[in-house]
Amino acid sequence: MYHKILVAMALDHGISPETLEIARALRAEGGQIIALHVHEAPQSTVRAYLDEDVIQAGFDAARKALTDKTAGLEGVTPVILSGHSARSIIDYAADNGVDCIVIGSHRPGLSDYFLGSTAARVVRHAGCAVHVQRTRT
């Protein structure tokens, strides 16, 4: 059983309820679950054409979606960061004493046939246990 579990939240896919349920099953009594979403801001070439208000609106919409998905879930703390998904998940886990990461993997490309690219990077570089939930589609 784990005391501090990070659940990587993909707000645009249906796997988050499954990964949250897995975290609940893996959580030790009194343990904490952190629902983490990483908002990836547009790349610099695209960002040059966007107003800061548009970028902030995207971040705010992601924060609301995360809050909505975690509303009413006892023992789940929502956290949103801006950055590169895999690197942000790994760094947050290391900096905050996370002892297990639960992450979903879906529709991998040819270069990441067995795991999605974010999940594959997290598995390779995380300093704690990682549980990968594969979707059936």
Q: What is the 3-state secondary structure (H, E, C) of the chain?
A: CEEEEEEECCCCCCCHHHHHHHHHHHEEEEEEEEEEEEECCCCHHHHCCCCHHHHHHHHHHHHHHHHHHHCCCCCEEEEEEECCHHHHHHHHHHHCCCCEEEEEECCCCHHHCCCCHHHHHHHHHCCCEEEEEECCC
pLDDT for the residue numbered 134: 81
pLDDT 10s digits, 86-136: 999 999 999 999 999 999 886 555 544 555 588 889 999 999 999 999 876
Could you tell me the CATH number of the domain that includes residue 66? 3.40.50.620
Q: What is the mean pLDDT of the chain?
A: 88
pLDDT for the residue numbered 12: 78
pLDDT for the residue numbered 137: 54
Please name every residue paired with 33 in a beta bridge, in sequence order, or none if there are none.
5, 76
pLDDT for the residue numbered 13: 73
Contact 38, 88 (CB under 8 A): yes
Split at pLDDT 50, 70, 90, the class of 67 is: very high
d(CA 9, CA 103): 8
pLDDT for the residue numbered 38: 96
The number of folded domains in the chain is 1
Domain that includes residue 28, residue range: 2-134
| End-to-end Cα spacing for the chain | 29
Contacts of 47 (CB under 8 A, 6+ apart): 41, 55
Most confident of 16-20, 57-61, 90-94, 104-108: 90-94
Is the pLDDT reported for residue 17 higher than 50?
Answer: yes
